Structure 1
Amino acid sequence: MGSGAEVVREARDVAQLVEAAHRECWSVVLASTVRLTRDLDLAEDCAQDAFVQALRTWPDGVPDNPAGWLTTVARRLALDRLRRETTLRRKLPLLIEDPVAPGDGEQPTDPLRLVFTCCHPALARDSQIALTLRLICGLTTREVAAGLLISEPTAAARITRAKKKIAAAGIPYRIPADDELADRLDVVLTVVQLVYTAGHVATGPELTRTDLTGRALELAHLLVRLMPDEPEPEALLALLQMTQARGDARVSDDGELVLLADQDRSRWDVKLLAEGVSRATAALQRATPTTQSTPTTQSTPTTQPGPSTQSGPSAQSGPTTRSGPSAQSGPTTQFGPSTRSGPSAQAGPTTQLGPSTRSGPSTRSGPTTQSGPSIQSGPRTQSGPTTQSGPSTQPGPTTQSSPGGQDGGGGGEARGVGRFALQAAVAGLHVTAPSWEQTDWHQVVRMYDAMLLRWPSPIVALNRAAAHSFVPGADLTAILEELDALSNDPALKAYSYLAATRADILTRLNRPAEAVQAYDEAITLTANDTERRFLTRRRATLLAS
């Protein structure tokens, strides 16, 4: 027997292995167990017990296939529980209804089955999202609450109600039939993006959780295979791929956050980026009825749109001081460079990708050390940016449902360009620009105008304001007023990126004392240690100057 120190060290090593397995395998183990039990609470209990057994058993030897070991143990525990339950006879028909081949503890589609079960239309939208984050991500109730900007008791209540509803309504554990998919597609796409963004900027010390980002990419691939003719699943996968391709450049060698403006683009994954751009192009082409959009009739140039005086965008337009984006403000099927020297009548990017050749002043205000918003640094679990210096111009998902009667992102060509296609278009504009300075901010703003028409959200309005601040000649004072108006929205009260964006704008307006206060607020609100260090450095630089 080893010394006490060796035993403690071995126990710590095993605990770390089990923790890593929990992060990587939780959804697979749970989904496979649910397929057996058809009872979410029972499956969750047995999956948790399997990880407890791993803590006791793995010191004698870690299995070659941890996921398979955990799944087998969880399913055996579930069978033992079922045999002891007085309701076994009632559950047996469910077990027989969907037989599992001997020795086949898991199936590739199990996680997707679980997502569709969590997103059943019988459940309230908020409950669908909370339950999926809990079961698919394995997030604690506290983490779910933080991701959705709600209180912990509210998150717990939503999860409990959803589980009870699934049990009481006898909601089946399966991928829906083709004629049922459309009704569930939008929320499924939303929660898959939430899974990704929960990992893209994680809660805690690390900037990312690769288990969650990888899980979301797998689910997105499954959705594309399930619905190959739908543009929105393709657009979501494209968006995630373009974000993932920049992952290595987001973090410096010493583990610190690097803004998109400062990233070494040679470190981007060119192959994955090309696949994402290709998918985004295909999604836009399928979503757009014709190969060339009708020019917008909007007369107000986008170089000087005024700030919103509302607490959030209305259902019919973006910022209120403009005449509002045109219904033709979505992307055209020709996604690529603009050759104009001023605002174009065309409202969106084309499917031809390449650098902008238009001339004009740099679209970047100030040096790269300035705390400007990280445009398209990736989605966030609450549809915000990941750099904590300001929102991304490519927003992540929002917890708000899409407004009725508008394209929330789940339709085909008949419903026009959806919100995921628009987000992919923004991502495409950023990754195909030769540099940060050559980003076509006019087009980026237009994409947000189109998003506000289809998906009114204060967070989309926040991201639009950040993008607009980089348009040459933009009125930063007016944009600050727009941000101050958005701060009255309850959804943004505890949203760190609003405070970070205000800090950036105040810095660029040479109002350092107010900027420091805004940084203090952002530092308090952020849940990620890497982002907190980034903000703290920006605050210190401001004080030193």
Structure 2
Amino acid sequence: MPHPEVAEVFGAQWPRLVATLRADLGDLDLAEDAAQHAFAVASERWHADGMPDAPGAWLLTVARRWAIDQARRDVRWARREDDVRAALELPQRDRGPISDDLLAMIFGCCHRALDEPARVALTLRYVVGLPTASLARSFLVTEATMAKRLVRAKKKIAASRVPFEVPDRDLLADSLDDVLKVVYVIYTQGHAAPTGELVRGDLCDEARWLAGTLCDLLPEEPEAWGLAALLAYTDARRPARLDADGEVVLLRDQDRSRWDAEAIAEGRRLLARALAIRRVGPYQLQAAIAGAHASAPTFDDTDWRTIRRLYAVLARLEPSPVVALNEAVAAALSEGPESGLALLSPIAEELDGYHYFHLARADMLATTGERDAARAAFDRALELCGSEAERRAIRRVAAEKLA
């Protein structure tokens, strides 16, 4: 078990250490190995000698020296020994909690040359510092399989010559979209994760940390602030998502007194910061929708008309059948189920394999009194749903609506 001081420093220093070493040494594998060696040495030395005043600088020095030793031993790195030695001789740099190296690492791990699972895995491993075993658990594979996936991803990085650098201003927007999507996917994996766990708080926390880091790194990018606000608002509901027995609690039934007031206040602050830049984007709109939910004292008091208008704007900026589905739900709750059903018709074919579509439709049909059609829609939602806990929630809703 790692020394407590080492474990605490690991969370704070791992992203900076690996990012700085990758920039200095030019190789992700070598950077990771050097960082791991430095933390292993720290676990022994700090227990005996105490933690140094500047743990980050201490770890960086140990890691660089180890890298030089490896360069001497490994013929593959023989030609790079001078470069590694030069890195060691750089003056100790206190780049602050946020550095260009870390931003370059994030953009490299999220590069579009990689497929989405690889982007998520690389970001969690090298930016967040999640152990390979935890990654494997998140993806429902063995640790050996995950290790092989990481190796393949790194080979793809080398073959595609993925640049670990901050894109130029004219290319930043597209690259940032890729990064924000990865952060959002990490957060969504924290809910109904493939492990079967309904809430993986560690993944939610890491996604929020990443979003906040991007705000610090790119303070003039409103969508970074928008995503951070969206995650804060959404995560505020985490304490109320499951009941005492671990069963799913739907939004309409959640005890709002259990919602995290500090997270809601943070979401409000982050969204205000995003909107002040006056370049509205999809994440800001989604955050505004989440904020409307967070500000309602009860489900019935929710401002569904405003939510529907926000979804309509979002549909123009980023059209998708799922956005249209959410607008239909808001329309049903603000104007009546007939309005919602009318909006569902054009997307019925595209979302036929999506259980939330059939669940929403079943709810609307039951409200209009079309019990047989509603029952069939509930059955279809159950058929498509992959989570037994969610299926139990669907059965409870169906029993209530069809009673």
- Normalising by structure 1, what TM-score? 0.55
Pair 1:484 & 2:340 matched: no
Q: Which amino acid aligns with 2:123?
A: I
Q: Which amino acid aligns with 1:115?
A: I
Deviations 1:348-371 (A, max 9, x none): xxxxxxxxxxxxxxxxxxxxxxxx
Q: Which residue of 1 aligns with 2:244?
A: 253
Q: Which amino acid aligns with 1:207?
A: L
Q: Which amino acid aligns with 1:533?
A: A
Closer, same or farther: CA 470–74 of 1 in aligned 2, 3 Å: farther
Q: Which amino acid aligns with 2:313?
A: A
Contact 1:247/1:268 (<8 A) preserved: yes
**Counterpart Cα distance in 2 of 1:37 and 1:74:** 11
Closer, same or farther: CA 32–278 of 1 in aligned 2, 3 Å: same
Q: CA deviation at 1:85?
A: 2.8
**Counterpart Cα distance in 1 of 2:248 and 2:391:** 10
Q: Which residue of 2 aligns with 1:284?
A: 275
SS of residue matched to 2:75 = coil
**Counterpart Cα distance in 1 of 2:299 and 2:382:** 27
Q: CA deviation at 1:236?
A: 1.4
Q: Which amino acid aligns with 1:463?
A: N
Q: 1:497 aligns with which of 356, 359, 366?
A: 356
Contact 1:445/1:467 (<8 A) preserved: yes
Q: CA deviation at 1:243?
A: 1.6
Contact 1:193/1:216 (<8 A) preserved: yes
Deviations 1:108-134 (A, max 9, x none): 5565432111234xx43xx26433201
Q: 1:464 aligns with which of 327, 341, 360?
A: 327
Count of paired positions: 371
Pair 1:86 & 2:75 matched: yes
Q: 1:134 aligns with which of 118, 121, 131?
A: 121
Q: CA deviation at 1:423?
A: 0.9
Closer, same or farther: CA 436–160 of 1 in aligned 2, 3 Å: same
Closer, same or farther: CA 499–180 of 1 in aligned 2, 3 Å: same
Which has the larger displacement, 40-49 or 438-447?
Answer: 40-49
Structure 1 alignment gaps of length 5 or more: 1-13, 147-152, 288-412, 527-531
Q: Which residue of 2 aligns with 1:365?
A: none
**Counterpart Cα distance in 1 of 2:66 and 2:318:** 45
**Counterpart Cα distance in 2 of 1:49 and 1:458:** 48
Q: 2:259 aligns with which of 225, 244, 268?
A: 268
Pair 1:517 & 2:379 matched: yes
**Counterpart Cα distance in 1 of 2:253 and 2:156:** 48
Closer, same or farther: CA 207–113 of 1 in aligned 2, 3 Å: farther
Q: Which residue of 2 aligns with 1:119?
A: 110
Q: Which amino acid aligns with 1:239?
A: L
Instruction: For CA contacts below 8 A with separation 6 or more, give which structure has more relative contact order.
Output: 1
Deviations 1:436-483 (A, max 9, x none): 112222221222222222212232223223333322223154355345
Q: CA deviation at 1:44?
A: 6.1
Q: CA deviation at 1:102?
A: 6.9
Closer, same or farther: CA 209–143 of 1 in aligned 2, 3 Å: closer
Pair 1:436 & 2:299 matched: yes
Q: Which amino acid aligns with 1:229?
A: E
Contact 1:38/1:173 (<8 A) preserved: no
Contact 1:119/1:187 (<8 A) preserved: yes
Identity of matched residues, %: 38
**Counterpart Cα distance in 2 of 1:261 and 1:176:** 43
Deviations 1:5-45 (A, max 9, x none): xxxxxxxxx69x9xx99x97997486566456533455567
Q: Which residue of 2 aligns with 1:314?
A: none
SS of residue matched to 2:300 = helix
Contact 1:130/1:159 (<8 A) preserved: no
Q: Which has the higher helix share?
A: 2
Structure 2 alignment gaps of length 5 or more: 126-133
Closer, same or farther: CA 442–107 of 1 in aligned 2, 3 Å: closer
Q: 1:38 aligns with which of 23, 26, 29?
A: 26
Instruction: Map 1:400-479 to 2 at 5 A.
Output: 413=279, 417-475=280-338, 476-479=340-343
Contact 1:235/1:420 (<8 A) preserved: yes
SS of residue matched to 2:319 = coil
Instruction: Map 1:34-433 to 2 at 5 A.
Output: 34-35=22-23, 37-41=25-29, 82-92=71-81, 95=84, 109=99, 112-120=103-111, 123-124=112-113, 127=114, 129-138=116-125, 163-168=154-159, 170-176=161-167, 181-287=172-278, 413=279, 417-433=280-296
- Normalising by structure 2, what TM-score? 0.71
**Counterpart Cα distance in 1 of 2:382 and 2:399:** 12
Closer, same or farther: CA 272–143 of 1 in aligned 2, 3 Å: closer
Closer, same or farther: CA 496–77 of 1 in aligned 2, 3 Å: farther
